[in-house]
Amino acid sequence: MKRPSERSLKILIALLSVAVILLSIITFLAKNGFSIKNILPNSIASEFSMKPIEPPPAVIIDAGHGGWEPGAINGSIQEKDITLAIALQVEKILKEKNISYLMIRNDDTFVSLEDRIKIANEKACKLFVSIHNNSFSDPSQRGVLTTYNPYSETGEDIARIMQSQIGDLCERNRDLMPRPNLYVLRYTNMPSILLEIGFISNKEDSKLLTTASFQKKCANQIVLGIEDILAKYFPDELKSSEEH
Q: How far apart are CA 234 and CA 239, in angstroms?
A: 9
For residue 49, the one-letter residue type is S
Cβ-contact 45, 36 below 8 angstroms: yes
User: Closer CB to Zn ion, residue 116 or residue 132?
Assistant: 132
- CA angle 109/62/240 to nearest 5° reads 125
Q: Which residue is nearest to Zn ion (CB)?
A: 132
Q: How far apart are CA 131 and CA 195, in angstroms?
A: 5
User: Closer CB to Zn ion, residue 134 or residue 152?
Assistant: 134
Q: Tell the smallest beta-carbon distance from residue 68 to Zn ion (Å).
A: 14
User: Closer CB to Zn ion, residue 126 or residue 148?
Assistant: 148
Q: Tell the smallest beta-carbon distance from residue 49 to Zn ion (Å).
A: 39
Phi, psi (rounded to 5 degrees) for 193: -140, 155
Q: Tell the smallest beta-carbon distance from residue 27 to Zn ion (Å).
A: 55
User: Closer CB to Zn ion, residue 64 or residue 143?
Assistant: 64
Q: Tell the smallest beta-carbon distance from residue 175 to Zn ion (Å).
A: 19
Q: Tell the smallest beta-carbon distance from residue 78 to Zn ion (Å).
A: 10
The distance from CA 15 to its chain's CA centroid, rounded to whole angstroms, is 50
Return residues touching Zn ion (CB under 5 A). 64, 71, 132
Mode of pairing for the β-strands spanning 59-63 and 101-103: parallel
User: Closer CB to Zn ion, residue 215 or residue 227?
Assistant: 215
